[in-house]
Structure 1
Amino acid sequence: MPKLIDHAQRQQEIAEAVWRVIQRDGVSAVSVRDVAAEAGISAGSLRHVFASKAELLAYSMRLVQKRVRERAEAHAAITDPWERALAVIAEFLPLDANRRCEIDVNLALVAESPAHPLLKDIALDAYRELRAGCVTVLTRLADCGLIRPALDLDAEATRLHALIDGVALHALIGDADAAHTAEGVIAHHLRTLA
């Protein structure tokens, strides 16, 4: 009896092949043929899962967002509010190979979004989700009395969001110490709000 193919699993495997192509050769190298070769399947099999390059890129970008969200949500069980805040924020920083790949791919696809309007919508969703996450992190810290009550949480969320994006980019293009520095910068910033 032939083995049934799990469609969701196949989508993820193909998206991960897209990520590898992007990291190795850039977005311009993403083609159905090259991604199929990277995934170890035929171009016809890939087209059975993704009808177009645009659909393939969109799914690949959404998968980055989904995985980051799932990891961030997994930290909800951390009881110490400072530890939980830092753990959640760390999911948006290139602190290991997986997160570095996700940020590389996300930046490449954001840069490609003028040519693919759906990517722009997905990038905007990710932007809004991170912004809402910053509000949530700061609100929880404030609810625990760990942030000065007089602070404007909306303005502070904007600053935190910009800081996360900035230190993530610096860590991505910086030297080996940049990832460690990124965590320290975030921790220092949060402590200044206390």
Structure 2
Amino acid sequence: MPRLIDHAARRAELAEAVWRVIVRDGVGAVSVRTVAAEAGVSAGSLRHVLPSKGLMLAAAMDLVVERATARFQAHAPVLASRADVVALLGEMLPLDEERRLEMQIHLALAAEAAGHPELSHVRAGPDGAVRSGCRTLLDLAHRDGHLRRGLDLDAETTRLHVLLDGLAFHLLGDVITVAGAHALLDEHLAARWRH
């Protein structure tokens, strides 16, 4: 009887191999040969799932988005307080080794995508996911009466997204501490919160 293959799990394993190549040697080192060697599979086996560098890079970024989204969704947004919102926003920041690795991959791939128009979706995916997460939290906070009346939620979504991006970048560079990031998020929300 032929062995059944879990294609999603296989793709994730190969995307993790792409991550390891990127972290160790940079995006330029990603190739069928290097990723196959890293994953411990034949080049033919890799090509069956991810036949080109573009698809390997896309799979690597897709895995970043999938994992961040799963973390965000696993913490069912019970927004009883501003601290709950800050904690949930923290799921989108590089506050531990797993999230730091994801942010490193995100930044490396976003930089690579700038020179390759066919990879524009590699950058758009994470940006869209973060913006969507920000909007979801603001919509829930608004629905539950936590936000001041009259706020432009589109503008607030953009402000929060930009703040998260800046915090993520500075956390990765160790310019700001985790406590400092939480304090800035809380301060930002406090100015919009109904007291």
Provide TM-score, normalisation by structure 2: 0.89
From the superposition, tell whether residues 169 and 77 of structure 1 become closer, same or farther in structure 2 (CA, over 3 Å).
closer
C-alpha contact (below 8 Å) 1:61/1:119 kept by paired residues: no
> 2:21 maps to which residue?
21
Deviation at residue 2 of structure 1 after TM alignment: 7.0
> 2:51 maps to which residue?
51
The alignment status of 1:179 with 2:163, answered yes or no, reads no
Q: Which aligned pairs between 1:37-76 and structure 2 lie closer than 5 A?
A: 37-76=37-76
User: Structure 2: which amino acid aligns with 1:178?
Assistant: T
What's the secondary structure of 2:5's corresponding residue?
Answer: coil
The alignment status of 1:126 with 2:101, answered yes or no, reads no
Deviation at residue 29 of structure 1 after TM alignment: 1.5
Q: Which aligned pairs between 1:1-194 and structure 2 lie closer than 5 A?
A: 3-76=3-76, 78=78, 80-174=80-174, 178-194=177-193
C-alpha contact (below 8 Å) 2:65/2:129 kept by paired residues: no
How many residues are matched?
193
C-alpha contact (below 8 Å) 2:79/2:140 kept by paired residues: no
C-alpha contact (below 8 Å) 1:73/1:88 kept by paired residues: no
Deviation at residue 94 of structure 1 after TM alignment: 0.3
From the superposition, tell whether residues 128 and 40 of structure 1 become closer, same or farther in structure 2 (CA, over 3 Å).
same
From the superposition, tell whether residues 124 and 98 of structure 1 become closer, same or farther in structure 2 (CA, over 3 Å).
same
State how far apart, in whole Å, the 2-side matches of 1:51 and 1:84 are: 43
C-alpha contact (below 8 Å) 1:65/1:126 kept by paired residues: yes
Deviation at residue 83 of structure 1 after TM alignment: 4.5
Task: Quote the sequence identity (%).
Answer: 49
User: Structure 2: which amino acid aligns with 1:70?
Assistant: A
State how far apart, in whole Å, the 1-side matches of 2:78 and 2:147 are: 18
1:109-165 Cα shifts (integer Å, max 9, x gaps): 110113433431232233233223212211211222222113222211111110000
Provide TM-score, normalisation by structure 1: 0.89
Query: What is the Cα-based RMSD across aligned positions, in Å?
Result: 2.0
What's the secondary structure of 1:94's corresponding residue?
Answer: coil
What's the secondary structure of 2:114's corresponding residue?
Answer: helix
Residue ranges of structure 2 left out of the alignment (5+ in a row): none
What's the secondary structure of 1:76's corresponding residue?
Answer: coil
User: Structure 2: which amino acid aligns with 1:167?
Assistant: L
C-alpha contact (below 8 Å) 1:95/1:180 kept by paired residues: no
Deviation at residue 34 of structure 1 after TM alignment: 1.3
What's the secondary structure of 1:92's corresponding residue?
Answer: coil
What's the secondary structure of 1:28's corresponding residue?
Answer: helix
